[in-house]
Chain A
């Protein structure tokens, strides 16, 4: 008999605006030592599905409409809250996406680990400490004794996730529910955490439910995959058969999102430099008299009509590099030359007329648009301000821009909050193009978008670069996106450029050790 058997689970939310069928007739089972992956976009019901088993869905508005969940001889959905709490702490453990919100910032990690042991097991403090240390070592925290008294904020994201896993293991659970446990982490850290979960699973014969939006992440670890869309399971199967022969169109879409491939078009032949960066340094002074060298001696040349990828993990300085090039952050030293003009020496008012040649596309389309300006206002503002359109043809030009970025003309008087994330990003791209720039810096423009949306935006960016003869600096942590889009790549690590080269050459023969590590860690679907 399986460890957990869920049959016909339906969870609906009864909201003021109607009934949302978050989970509809979902069935699955997990065995000891087995990993079930539930994959889907946000809003597909994958998390609600897991949390409803543990009674963690707010009720009301949520309501379990039907179903059974057999676990250790009992039906989880019929348990009283008190009984469920015992199951939650003991036999089923969860790991969440952001460990910082799950850990108490005021308690040292050691205290937090010992607490359940002292409370539930009634062991002595000394025994609890010994056991907690053992757990920290099991999840690969070196030097556990010394870090026992440290607080959550003193740890990196990856370390915190390890601590979360250690906490989940305290009660010796039989089933582990991991909800996007690596989504907030860098690729190299993600690979480590995935490996750690697999090791622990094998050692303890755990059943694991792994919730993710990314098929590539679960490809290597899942025994079974459940693909969910709009609350329903649209496809299920072993990874191999699922990847080789996906039946449902939605599965194919998800696969395409994780399996981007290489850039189709060859790099542009003529090499006309547009912007030249020499020895760029951007340093910040941090509290305690330290200096953070966000960008440290980076040089690069951007040619017309090319897309240069800037790759690096969080904290590598890639965003600061982009903003320093655009002079949104004042560089500490070095030179940025646009045409014949040295930008770093100009003051703000001298810079202002030049700014229209340098535009930026931001990561979060929810924050990058003024919520009080309609599409027309947002796109007309740069046109009017830089006198690129006369009063009479402003509307025509705005409409042309909307056509360009694939927004329906009828949406011209709508406001940002009336659009989806992908469409908002189109508005933001339109605004960047309105000034007819030469150089555009795109800072993770697709990472805030839902799984199947980035493909459309990336193709739009490719088309626009070709159509408008743009030079694009594309900043991303996602290697598959960079490979699909970029002609050349620059790898940043701790503010320094460790390697640069043509994309396919770099992929075939990475020179720097860090690049090799990065490429090896990226989850792939082959």
Chain B
């Protein structure tokens, strides 16, 4: 045999690749994806590209409408709004991604175990989820803030701790359906350990819906952060987030509308992009289409 036959063989089209090919044909989803990449890049590069120093004030200037020097205008303390939108985006994206990652990790693992083991373990695990669901979210967050004080890490954890519940339910449903499939029975009869079956056969097959749900969780987490900040429970000044900016903007909406419009636009743009991407992914990953 000359060379590696694996490398020589024609590469098959895996379901992932198939989904990618289908996603690429969906213009709206591709546009959403590109927009997200752009926004993420801006958030990452903020320290280098922000036009003004974060703390710079120009009290003499005060609130000024958009101009050549300040593209998005300034706030009542004369701070550049573009700079603050960029820095706020960093926080909003961080909250969105980190809290979703927390939810994803806990939810997928928890849901898979509950669904696969089944029986009494499943019953106990899912009742716990039901109980957590029943807790009023706001009270939960306020309690956490009161007990531990306000900080960013806590915010990540608090939001993640709430968002994983739905994820766990989705994954558990998926796993229960998959468990009936013959390829799982085949894996059992091959003598694979439970953990191997979960890792290699179950989780990869639940990922489609999980990815879709993730793209829809990120915007809801960002909204949640905005909401909490708006209420004064989230990010604290001088740190900033889109939610906080919108909150300030709302107060001065009548005199200085740009303070509301631009942060609002940034948030909406991100949410739209994520939703378009999520919809596109859902269509692309639907195995029913892939089958025929």
- Residues of A whose CB lies within 8 Å of any CB of B are 326, 328, 351-356, 358-360, 362-364, 367-376, 381-382, 385-386, 395-396, 399, 409-415, 417-418, 428, 431-432, 435
Find out whether the CB atom of A385 lies under 8 angstroms from the CB atom of B9.
no
Alpha-carbon separation in the docked complex, A370 to B205 (Å): 8
Alpha-carbon separation in the docked complex, A354 to B189 (Å): 10
B185, B187, B196 — which one has the most chain A CB atoms within 10 A of its CB? B185
Find out whether the CB atom of A374 lies under 8 angstroms from the CB atom of B190.
no
Alpha-carbon separation in the docked complex, A417 to B289 (Å): 12
Q: How many A-B residue pairs have CB under 8 A?
A: 104
Alpha-carbon separation in the docked complex, A171 to B185 (Å): 48
- Residues of B whose CB lies within 8 Å of any CB of A are 1, 4-6, 9-16, 18, 181-183, 185-193, 196, 200-201, 204-205, 287, 290-291
B18, B181, B193 — which one has the most chain A CB atoms within 10 A of its CB? B181
Alpha-carbon separation in the docked complex, A431 to B189 (Å): 11
| 20 sampled A-B residue pairs with Cβ under 8 A | A352-B192, A360-B186, A362-B186, A363-B182, A367-B183, A368-B182, A368-B183, A369-B183, A370-B183, A370-B201, A372-B204, A375-B12, A382-B190, A385-B191, A413-B6, A413-B10, A415-B12, A417-B18, A417-B291, A435-B191
Find out whether the CB atom of A415 lies under 8 angstroms from the CB atom of B13.
yes
Alpha-carbon separation in the docked complex, A358 to B185 (Å): 13
Q: How far is the CB of A381 from chain B (nearest CB, A)?
A: 7
B200: chain A residues within 8 A (beta carbon): 370, 373, 381
The 8 Å CB contact of A413, one of B9, B192, B193, B291, is B9
Q: How far is the CB of A347 from chain B (nearest CB, A)?
A: 13
Alpha-carbon separation in the docked complex, A369 to B181 (Å): 9
Alpha-carbon separation in the docked complex, A417 to B187 (Å): 19
Alpha-carbon separation in the docked complex, A335 to B15 (Å): 43
Q: How far is the CB of A389 from chain B (nearest CB, A)?
A: 14
B11, B12, B188 — which one has the most chain A CB atoms within 10 A of its CB? B12
A359: chain B residues within 8 A (beta carbon): 189-190
Given A362-B182, A367-B182, check contact A414 B10 (CB 8 Å): yes
Find out whether the CB atom of B291 lies under 8 angstroms from the CB atom of A355.
no
B183: chain A residues within 8 A (beta carbon): 367-370
Find out whether the CB atom of B186 lies under 8 angstroms from the CB atom of A412.
no
Alpha-carbon separation in the docked complex, A367 to B186 (Å): 10
Find out whether the CB atom of B9 lies under 8 angstroms from the CB atom of A412.
yes
7 new A-B pairs (CB below 8 Å) besides A370-B183, A409-B9?
A355-B190, A362-B182, A368-B183, A381-B192, A411-B12, A412-B9, A414-B12
A363, A381, A412, A413 — which one has the most chain B CB atoms within 10 A of its CB? A413
Alpha-carbon separation in the docked complex, A328 to B188 (Å): 8
Find out whether the CB atom of B191 lies under 8 angstroms from the CB atom of A356.
yes
Q: How far is the CB of A437 from chain B (nearest CB, A)?
A: 9
The 8 Å CB contact of A399, one of B5, B13, B201, B204, is B5
The 8 Å CB contact of B181, one of A352, A356, A367, A417, is A367
